[in-house]
Structure 1
Amino acid sequence: MEETLFSTERRQRKTEIASHLRSIADKLESGEAITLSNGGESVTLEVPEQATFEMEVERETGDGDPELSLEFEIEWHESGESSGFVIE
């Protein structure tokens, strides 16, 4: 069972997207907590030293033009223990 704690989606320029990703990467590298917010909604995450990192590219077809997506996922147990592989 999954529970969504935070979700946001909006159209942005590549430079704005890069800025968000860079901010998250800087916080990961420095060990700081990551806070995601959108209006009155926010969530703060403490990512452990090791976690599972997944990248996925999908093509969605159907009505209209195919749509591509690039997804990044960082996953860990709430206990702080890493599961799966570690990229070094």
Structure 2
Amino acid sequence: MPEEVLFNSESDQSREEIATYLRNVADTLENGNAITLKAGSESVTLNPPARPTFEVKVEREGQAGNMTELSVEFELEWDENDSEGESGSGQLEIE
């Protein structure tokens, strides 16, 4: 099945604003609650399983000699029909 975008939001924010947002997501996950994302009139509610797959990806986009863009993506993945989730392949550390 092709990818279907259920929600998308992109905005310039300060580091402090981003940290607060990520902290709120982390607290919601830690408490075992569903996560509701809202932007304007769009919203989506997700209820990740106890052990979703957690992916961290850093990318560099652009061509040599031109301005490049760096990005870091934090992604939770799980099968909609599998409430158990899968175990990961390694310990992530953030320093």
- Calculate the TM-score normalised by the size of structure 2: 0.84
Answer whether contact 2:54 2:74 (CA < 8 A) is retained.
yes
Q: What is the rounded CA distance, in whole Å, between the counterparts of 1:61 and 1:38 in structure 2?
A: 29
Identity across the alignment (%): 50
Cα deviations by residue, 1:25-60 (Å, 9 ceiling, x for unpaired): 000000011000001100001011011000011111
- Calculate the TM-score normalised by the size of structure 1: 0.90
Answer whether contact 2:38 2:44 (CA < 8 A) is retained.
yes
| Map 1:1-88 → 2, pairs under 5 A | 1-62=2-63, 64-79=66-81, 80-83=83-86, 85=88
Runs of 4+ residues deviating >4 angstroms? none
Structure 1 gaps of 5+ residues are none
Structure 2 gaps of 5+ residues are none
Q: What is the rounded CA distance, in whole Å, between the counterparts of 1:2 and 1:84 in structure 2?
A: 23
Q: How many matched pairs? A: 88
Amino acid corresponding to residue 88 of structure 2 in structure 1:
F
